[in-house]
Amino acid sequence: MINPVQPYPCKILDVHKESVHEWTFRVATDAKVAHGQFMQLSIPMIGEAPISVSAQGDGWLEFTIRNVGKVTNVIFEKTAGDTLFLRGPYGKGWPVDQFRGKHMVVITGGTGLAPVRSMLNAFAAGPGLVKDVTLICGFKNEEGIVFHKELEEWKNKFTTIYALDNDVKENWRTGMVTAFVKEIPFDQWGDDYAVVVVGPPPMMKFTGLELLKCGAKVENIWMSFERKMSCAVGKCGHCRIDEVYVCLDGPVFPYSVARDLVD
Amino acid sequence: MSYILNTQQADKVLGTLAEKYAVYAPKRFVNQGRYSATDSIRYDKVSSASEIVWQVKSDYPAKEVINPIQQAIFYFTEDEYRASKVKEQPVLIFARPCDINAQKIQARIFAGNGGFTDLYYARMRERVKFILMDCNGGDDTCFCVSMGSNAVDEGDYSAAVKFSDGGMEVKVTDPELEPFFAGCDSCDFAPEFVTENELKVEVPDLSDKEVRLALKKHPMWKEYDARCVSCGACTVACSTCTCFTTRDVIYGDNPEVGERRRVTASCQIAGFDQMAGQREFRSTAGDRMRYKVLHKFHDYKARFGERHMCVGCGRCTHRCPELISISATVNKVSAAVAEIKADLGKA
């Protein structure tokens, strides 16, 4: 009998400090992960945490982690050469096939950029995949900015709006991401676009409402959720909302489903 | 075949069964009840018929045998994970129809949801045979008939038993159990099921999304902010609740050795949905009650079809220290739904 919660050991290849509290861990593994899926990171004697895959390459995956809990605090003590245990990948990622050939809009709040990073890198590497990309990234303040290098690269490939909630930064805008949604030319795109939104729950709620106000259609919007999990395989019940399990049916949900979910 | 046994014969047969099987049945734990000089009735190993409490419903469900309140799922040695092992001995569980039906519900979650089968549940469940215990009608918290879980099919059990002060009558349906009753007098016993409870529950139709969304905002849930103390006793006593959490434990003074434990969790206890460094989604007792009640009487069925996630055993009502009745709650939901439907012109 297969044990779906059995973790396996993986070597940490590199630790990159994105910001004070958010570090990216590159881990050696051959796991094949779809954009937007997550894995369970496991440490014996400590516990497990679901973390989305923030980048992938030949024989490695990256996880961008904020040290806010019991497990992530211990992960932050690890360095290249140390072992991390993984299991997964789990859940449903971004429906990239449905995005093919369309105008793509990506709106993120804070570390919400991590679950879309690998997809954005794929869009940047293969320009034919989607028609074009409009990327709106918001961060609370300058210390919260992650993926500096990629943010610079994406400026050359996508239409970008980078913003800090309250702070001022050169060539950056100031304000919540919701303030910039009206600049997206939905009226010029007919039905030929797709929007993905990831961030803290209030940010996703208000961005969804603003998108509808600006003419985006419900069926063209997707969101990625984050919830507490123990098992990640639909047994423990922590991530259930109504009749869906975030670990099985999500973390990516069509907005038509996401907007009616009540925790 | 059906057999009739006096108390000595019943004790003897149970003793022989206990040599081959781990036999679990409701047992009385004297002075271990909630109040002074009260008993607790819960599942435990038995080796004689006289240990089995059949006169009243057990305080805690049969699920504890298959899905214990805590179990080690991995043992750690330095950085190796070893899955815990299971005892090979086959298991017999004496259970009423509600408890047997509850396992059909648990199985949909543990062995199938999302295409994943939980090793720890499945390896235990496959070793279990049920012995159906005749239900004498339960008590004033039972509403199994309303939930359609008052009866089971013959394929759901290996034998059916009706206990009495003079012994027991048995109908054996599993040939593997036949030899244990060799030499006993035959009779024409056949199990009967409760056909009416004193308590009746009207489960509301929540198929309309607009009605459901309005129900979630209905003021009825606020009442539980004051009444419910979020202790989780209802979910521990529930025949069907499956939720758990994992907890890593280090043994004594050696930080290199320990285990990962699966521990029963409750959606009624604060923190159930709280992620590290974030706020709870359901921060009030009313929110948590709404979440539980809608899972039991809508969400589970919406996902898995067939039936609701409540078998009407009434144990949650029985255990609630604040005297919150699940049946009264569901009837309140029905009243709220009728009111909402009238407001929305959907009556």
Q: Where are the domains of chain B?
A: 2-62+87-186, 209-241+267-343
| CATH code, residues A96-258 | 3.40.50.80
Distance CA A135, CA A155 (A): 9
Structurally, what CATH architecture does the domain formed by A8-88 represent? Answer: Beta Barrel (2.40)
Which tens digit of pLDDT belongs to each residue from A223-245? 999 999 999 999 999 999 999 99
The size of the A-B interface in CB pairs under 8 A is: 128
pLDDT recorded at residue B279: 86
Q: Look at B278 and B265; give whichever has higher pLDDT.
A: B265
Is residue A238 a contact partner of residue A227, using CB atoms and an 8 Å limit?
yes
Mutate to test the interface with A, among B86, B275, B284, B297 (most CBs of A within 10 A): B275
Strand partners, B133: B161
Confidence of residue A127 (pLDDT cuts 50, 70, 90): confident
Contacts of B254 in chain A (CB under 8 A): none
Burial-class residue B114 by CB neighbours within 10 Å (0-12, 13-18, 19+). Answer: middle
Share of chain B above pLDDT 70, in %: 100
Pairing of strands B22-29, B91-95: parallel
- Average pLDDT for A136-146: 95
pLDDT recorded at residue A227: 95
Contact call for A235 and B122, based on CB within 8 A: no
Q: Is the pTM of this model over 0.90?
A: yes
pLDDT recorded at residue B253: 84
Is residue B156 a contact partner of residue B132, using CB atoms and an 8 Å limit?
yes
pLDDT recorded at residue B329: 97
**Which chain A residues touch B if contact means CB-CB below 8 Å?**
1-7, 9, 42, 44-49, 66, 68-72, 83, 85, 201, 226-228, 230-231, 233-238, 240, 242-245, 247-248, 260, 262-263
Which tens digit of pLDDT belongs to each residue from B229-276? 999 999 999 999 999 999 999 988 888 899 999 999 999 999 999 998
pLDDT recorded at residue B77: 87
B270 min Cα distance to partner chain A (Å): 12
Q: Where are the beta strands (DSSP E) in B78-115?
A: 80-83, 91-95
Contacts of A262 in chain B (CB under 8 A): 213, 216
pLDDT recorded at residue B313: 97
Domain ranges of chain A: 8-88, 96-258
Q: Which H helix or E strand runs over B319? A: helix B315-319
Contacts of B130 (CB under 8 A, 6+ apart): B92, B93, B94, B95, B100, B103, B156, B157, B158
Distance CA A42, CA B177 (A): 44
The closest alpha carbon to A117, from A66, A165, A61, A77, belongs to A61
Q: With 80 as the cut, is the pLDDT of residue B138 above it?
A: yes
- Average pLDDT for B206-224: 96
Contacts of A156 (CB under 8 A, 6+ apart): none
pLDDT recorded at residue B186: 96
Please give the span between the terminal C-alpha atoms of chain B, in angstroms, as a whole number.
Answer: 52
ipTM reported for the complex, 2 dp: 0.95
Length of chain B: 347
Contact call for A234 and B113, based on CB within 8 A: yes
Distance CA A138, CA A111 (A): 9
Could you tell me the two tokens for A198? 């990831």
Which tens digit of pLDDT belongs to each residue from A63-121? 999 999 999 999 999 999 999 999 999 999 999 999 999 999 999 999 999 999 999 99
pLDDT recorded at residue B293: 98
Q: Quick check: helix, strand or coil at residue B283?
A: coil
- Average pLDDT for B49-76: 96
Could you tell me the two tokens for A252? 């990516």
Contact call for A236 and B244, based on CB within 8 A: yes
Q: With 80 as the cut, is the pLDDT of residue B79 above it?
A: no
